[in-house]
Every structure is written in C-alpha cells, then in structure tokens.
Amino acid sequence: MARSSSGFVAGLTAAAVVVVGFLGHEAQANAPRSLSGRPGPTATHAAGASKAPRDERHAAALPDGSGTGERVVYSLDDDRVWLVGADGTVQNTFGVSPGNVDPAPGTYAVASRSKSITGTDGVPVEHVVRFTSADGVAVGFSAAVHGSLPTPDPALKTGGIRESRTDGETMWMFATIGQKVVVIR
C-alpha cells in the first residue's frame, strides 16, 4: 500500500511543479518589460523610430523599409495596415482606427487569437489578432460586431486596433499564430 500512495504523491508533486512553472511563465510573459528582464521588441532598421519613406503620389502604397517576406505592416502615423505576401506584393490594405495605447515600432509575431470577445472598452469584437502588449494592455487587431470604428474613450486604456468587419475577416484569414507583424511610424 505504501508504494501506491508514494506513486500518487509523486504524481501530484510533478503536476504541481508543472502548474507552478506554467504560472511563472505566464506571469513573466505579462509583466511590464521593465520588471520582466525581457528585451523590447526586435526592431529592424526599417521599423525604427523614424518614419518610413512614403510614396507621396500613392498614399496607400506600402512604405519602403517596412520589412521583407510575408507580414502584416501597421503604420502608427497613417492608421493603415498592409497584408504582404511572401513575394512582397501587397495582398490587401485598409485603414484602421487605433485605440489610445500604441505598440512601439518594431517586429512582432501574432501571439494569440480569439474568434469573439468583449473588448477593453466593453464593445463586443470579433476576429481578434493579438501581437503584443503595451502599458499593461493587449494590443491587436479586431472588428466591432456592430461594425463601428469608435473614437477611444480617453478614460480607458485600449489597445484594440479596429477594422471594418470585412477587413477583420481578411486579417483573421491572413494573420495566424506566428505571423510577422511590423509596426512602423
């Protein structure tokens, strides 16, 4: 009898170690960079603090220096997204309505997705594609279920970058887990 109870205790101990390790990892992953010891996002030369060059004649053209390969490019200054294929051609581009918390320019990867949730502003959203956090708030693309592109309430910290429902569905199909997201000025 002693052997079976010691095996049971060993199993419980192993399970507890796994749970504590997982919770520790989650706590570190969600801690502010200043406390977590993690470096900031990997910035490419193109995604640095300076504004990427624009084609003055074609405002919706993909900015030079916005990375290479298949990626989502998000311009903080232009409130625009480009979905770029592996061959470097723009597959789609559209305007967005950002929240009041911006990610730092740099290169990220899609970290999580949700088909439908309630946003930090209390609005039901769908096709949520998250790629980072800033100022303690998750940052990602989403579409309001009722289709609006609201002006963020300054009293709330919101990292949702809102798209139309059609654009949200397009983003959902393109930006799967691990997809590169390049944020530029």
Quickly state the pLDDT bin for 110 (edges 50, 70, 90).
very high
CA 123 to chain centre: 18
Checking if the pLDDT of 179 tops 70, the result is yes
pTM for the full predicted model: 0.70
At 35-81, the pLDDT tens digits run: 333 334 433 333 344 455 566 666 678 998 899 999 999 999 999 99
**Domain CATH code at residue 173:** 2.40.440.10
Same-domain check for residues 103 and 17: no
Greatest Cα pair distance, the chain, in angstroms, is 82
Domain carrying residue 32: 2-36
Residue range 144-173, pLDDT digits in tens = 998 877 777 888 899 999 999 999 999 999
Under a CB-based contact definition with an 8 Å cutoff, are residues 66 and 54 in contact?
A: no
Residues 88 and 155 in one domain: yes
Q: Residue 184's closest CA among 41, 77, 31, 87?
A: 77
* Cβ neighbour number for residue 21 with a 10 Å cutoff: 10
Mean pLDDT of all residues in the chain?
Answer: 78
More confident position, 77 or 34: 77
The verdict on residue 63 lying in a domain is no
